[in-house]
Amino acid sequence: MSEYLLRVKDLHVEFTTRNGRVRAVRGVSLALSPGATLGIVGESGSGKSVTAYAITKLLDRAGRITGGSIEFGDSDLVSASYEEMRRLRGPAISMIFQNARGALNPIRTIGQQLVDALSAHRRLSKEKQQERVLDLLAAVMLKDPERILRSYPHQLSGGMCQRAMIALAIACEPQLLIADEPTTGLDVTTQKTVMDLVARLATERKMGVILITHDLGLAARYCQNIAVMQEGVVVETAPATQLFGSPQHPYTRRLVAASPTAHSTLDDLGVDAESDGVPSCRKTLQSPRTSAARPLLTAKDLTKDFSGFRAVDSVSFDIAPGESVGLVGESGSGKSTISRIISRLIDKSQGSVVFDGHDIGDIPASDFHGSEFRRQIQIVFQDPHESLNPRYTAFDCIAHPLRRLDRLIGKRETKRRVEECAERVEFDCALLTRFPHQLSGGQKARVGIARAIATNPRLLILDEPTAALDVSVQAVVLKLLDRLRREEGLSFFFVSHDLNVVRMLCERIIVMASGRVVEEASSLELFRAPQTAYTRELLEAIPSFDPRRMREIG
Amino acid sequence: MRAVITIAHHTARRFLASIPALLGVLVFTFLMMRVLPGDPAVFFASDPNAGPEEIEQMRKTLGLDRPLPVQMAYYFRDIATGNLGRSMTTGQPVVTDLAERLPASLELTVTALVLALSLALPLGVLAALYPGTLLDHAVRFVCSLGVCVPTFVSGLVLIYVFYVILGIAPDPTGRLGAFDAPPPGITGLLLVDFLIVGDFESWRSALSQLILPASTMALFVLAPLARMTRASMLAVLGSDFIRTAHSLGLSRRKVIITYGLRNALLPVITITGVVFSTMLGANVLVEKVFAWPGVGSYALDALLASDYAPVQGFVLLMASVFVLVNLTVDTLYGIADPRVTIE
């Protein structure tokens, strides 16, 4: 018996694609002691998930392990047969996945799926099974287990689905749990409960855990050792404190620098710089805002009902010209509804929206595209991959609002304006003829922003514009947005669940919960002295690392 | 129990919601009757030498002298009382004719559908499990063959091979063997009726009459069903919850059948409904080739003889069947997929 629970040596994985072979993992070596927690961090395409799937041999049909060994206990998984692997999956190694709702069978109840997982490896009587299933649901702290058993995944929230997924994964008491981005898409507070739960279960049951994530803060908080992957290679492995305190490899340094922390400013992102101890925020004096100026937008007593359910309950706020206001809250808090009402994509139930002295709240959302104000209020959507028309080239995407809203007809003039927009967002004009699928995530984000600023709007509504991007790309996009705002005097209404990002970009933050404003303060104040328990809870839930403290400890 | 009540409730609501569509069909068939050439009064006047007064008299009796809305009201009343008019070729009420022939069509269609599904599902699943292999290509070839050969050709080929050359199949002349007496009409479905009576000899003979025409139709609809199963199964096998099932070490059989196929069946249910409705109406060619006394050939004969009442009746019948089939499909879908609420 080796001292390690899992030992991966010089692992190579290849994918056969239409464009030939891709070497996704090139010589990865990892080791995990029983009961330890190892983080694998890296950006998309770094091969971190592929490594995990190779360990459990759940690679796609196109993927193949071409070299190396995976020692689990005394056996080598690389040479294990399908049936041998099947018997290991569940009682020895199991996984939890990103997007738990999609990872559960939509037409089987949670109870049935738990029974499936149990009975695949154990023969238990009906009563024993039922007892065990209820125990599992209690272990993952799901309230009202009887109801959960009878529920289908679509009837549960994302956090509940992830807990059900964890219950499935630990059903047969594995020695190794691999968590593949288990909290992506969940709220910070839910993320904290889920990760705390995994950590607690791991300690209680002495499970080894591999946490795969792109979030350095999360890895820092929950892992003892961290392996940083880039382009299929582990570039650095070190204990967490050491890795964040004094990163050795240039890529690790870049990654650490690009991750927003509780103290970073936009200027810090991507460069190695000391921060000054006080959480820095956009200083109010940086904005051209004057208290005497008429607000650009005033929302008063906004209320929205969805067939009996009150999503937004009398919310009021102002946005001054050139000001950047952040709106944060968990999913279901009504922040997206507010942003859609302000963008005039949906109609309010009550209240008023005054833009530049004109009441635009009474123009029906279905007619707003014909209003002169459509050009002045533009939106950058959440997912740059999904929000671009796949049949439009980058050029057409940017030209679309110009043609529709600015009634631009001349070919030469359109080309000039589109290229000008591309330059404003630092998008290479040579790429304008490409389709979205031929662009990288960051390039697509730029096209989305260029499209939004094409008509020279005065208010830009940003609905989680960087949520789907890698940290290093996010840093660049955030900087770009900040520069645009200062250079063009735009007002921002920034909707996000990532408080660190909001803090860096916004002067003022509005916190929402269950349709109401819980707290509103300048970013500086909010972070320094949160007034409500809810805000404190939100702030505490942000997983982050503190490079200075790490340095002291490390 | 509560789920059953909800489903029943939804089904009733759906049925009520389909009534406007049926009324629309009624208006359409009524207008069709007005637009088609021919004067029913002349047809119905008993005496070939009837004078204008007699025809006028007949027009009055038939209510044809009234304004259109009143006539429509009469038409609706007739339909409500189950009177679809009289066929001039058979001399019987259309309702009686249709009631006699619909079971023949139903028996043929249902058998063909069951046959097609029992072939298409395994073929589709196999093709999805081994995409791009020889097996996948073979399935694709069979499907293409089935869909590109017209039913009257494949029907004739089957007759030629199994009746003329091999002599296994009985002569393709309708539902009953030459020496079998028809069973007492209980359901009108021969296979069911013979079973009820316990006449297994005739049951076997009726089955052998049914096999060739049913196979012909099954071949024709094999392609959409198998291709749909394959596509749907491929999509499901690539989804996250299949990966989860593998990661929990479920048996291969459980993963493929319980997790894969059951999810993949959802779109197949919809296609099956569409295929069934199409088959029931469009199997005229098969009925003609095998002298099958179904509704399709009945309507075609009537149309050729300018006998409009049966055609109207046929259109109405098909519309009702279509509504019913869609209702069944939606209900099944609601049972199979808990995410769908039937509205």
Domain ranges of chain B: 2-80, 94-336
Q: CA of B226, closest CA in chain A: separation in Å?
A: 22
Cβ–Cβ contact B13 with A under 8 A: no
Confidence label for A86 from pLDDT (cuts 50, 70 and 90): very high
CA distances from A148 to A100, A151, B310 (A): 15, 5, 56
Angle at B233 between CA B232 and CA B237, to 5 degrees: 120
Cα–Cα distance for residue pair A108/A103, rounded to 1 Å? 12
Local structure of A76: helix, strand or coil = strand
Structure tokens of A401?
């609002």
B341 touches chain A (CB under 8 A): no
The B residues from 249 to 278 touching A (CB cutoff 8 Å) are: 249-252, 254, 258-259, 262-263, 266
| More confident position, A81 or A547 | A81
Structure tokens at A411: 């070919």
Mean pLDDT of B259-283: 88
Least CB–CB distance from A107: residue in B240, B244, B338: B338
Contact status of B220 with chain A (Cβ, < 8 Å): no
Q: Is residue B3 predicted with pLDDT exceeding 70? A: no
Distance between CA atoms of residues A42 and A48, nearest Å:
7
Cβ-proximal residues to A87 (8 Å cutoff; 6+ apart), any chain? A121, B249
Q: For residue A124, what pLDDT is reported?
A: 87
Q: Which residues contact A490 (CB under 8 A, 6 or more apart)?
A: A322, A453, A457, A458, A459, A460, A484
| Percent with pLDDT over 70 in chain B | 91
Q: For the domain with range A304-360+458-554, which CATH number is right: 3.30.70.100, 1.10.3720.10, 3.40.50.300, 3.40.50.720?
A: 3.40.50.300
Q: Are strands A233-239 and A225-230 parallel, antiparallel or unpaired?
A: antiparallel
Q: What are B307's strand-pairing partners?
A: none
B240–A168 CB contact, under 8 Å? no
In Å, how far is A438's CA from the nearest CA of chain B?
23
ipTM above 0.90, yes or no: no
Average pLDDT of the residues in A284-303: 69
Nearest to A94 among B247, B266, B337 (CB): B247
Domain ranges of chain A: 104-162, 304-360+458-554, 389-456
Residues with Cβ within 8 Å of residue A433, at least 6 apart in sequence? A393, A394, A395
CA distance A154 to chain B (A): 7
- The SS3 of residue A415 is helix
Q: Which CATH superfamily is domain B94-336 in?
A: MetI-like (1.10.3720.10)
Question: CB distance A117–B337 less than 8 Å?
Answer: no
Q: Which residue has the tokens 């409009």?
A: B308
Q: What is the distance between the alpha carbons of residues A236 and A254, in angstroms, rounded to a whole number?
A: 13
Residues 6+ apart with CB under 8 A from A234: A28, A29, A30, A227, A228
The answer to whether A105 contacts B245, with C-beta atoms less than 8 Å apart, is yes
Element (H, E) at A187: none
pLDDT at A223: 93
Report how far residue A358's alpha carbon sits from residue A356's, in angstroms, rounded to the nearest whole number.
Answer: 6
Given this model, what pLDDT does residue A511 score? 93
The Cβ of residue B8 has, within 10 Å, a number of other Cβ atoms equal to 11
Any B CB within 8 A of A97 CB? yes
pLDDT value at B117 more than 60: yes
Residue A116 touches chain B, beta carbons under 8 Å: yes
Cα angle, residue A128 at apex, residues A125 and A130 outer, rounded to 5°: 105
CA A315 vs CA A377, A534, B116: distances in Å: 19, 17, 60
| Residue-level pLDDT at A285 | 38
Residue of A nearest to B130 (CA): A61
Strands across the sheet containing A350-355:
A309-319, A297-306, A350-355, A358-359
For B327, phi and psi rounded to 5 degrees? -60, -45
Between B48 and A180, residue with greater pLDDT: A180
Chain-chain contact of A104 with B244 (C-beta, under 8 angstroms): yes
Q: If you average pLDDT over every residue of chain A, what do you get?
A: 86
pLDDT of B242 above 80? yes
Among the partner-chain residues B247, B266, B337, the one whose CB lies closest to the CB of A58 is B247
CA atoms of A317 and A299, how far apart (whole Å): 5
The answer to whether the CB atoms of A86 and B241 lie below 8 A apart is no
Q: What is the model's pLDDT at position A417?
A: 92
How many angstroms from the chain centroid is the CA of residue B75? Answer: 26
> Closest Cα of chain A to B125: distance in Å?
17
Mutate to test the interface with B, among A72, A105, A156, A166 (most CBs of B within 10 A): A105
Does the pLDDT of residue A232 top 60, yes or no?
Answer: yes
Contacts of A87 in chain B (CB under 8 A): 249
Residue A229, phi then psi, degrees to nearest 5: -115, 145
Secondary element (H or E) of residue B55 = helix B52-62
Residue B38 has pLDDT above 70, yes or no: no
Categorize the per-residue pLDDT at A277 as very low, low, confident or very high, splitting at 50, 70 and 90.
very low
Predicted confidence at residue B250, as pLDDT, reads 92
* Gap between the Cα atoms of A455 and A483, Å rounded: 18
Pick from A94, A99, A154: CB nearest B248: A94
Residues of A in contact with B258 (CB under 8 A): 108, 116
Alpha carbon A527 to its chain's center: 21
**Identity of the residue in A58, A108, A117 whose CB atom sits nearest the CB atom of B243:** A58
Q: Output the six-digit token pair for A460.
A: 């830009």
Q: Residue A518: which pLDDT band, with cuts at 50, 70 and 90?
A: very high
Q: Do B246 and A58 lie within an 8 Å CB cutoff?
A: yes
Residue with tokens 């991966």: A8
Average pLDDT estimate for A459-478:
86
Per mean pLDDT, which range of A2-6, A220-224, A511-515, B244-248 is the poorest? Answer: A2-6
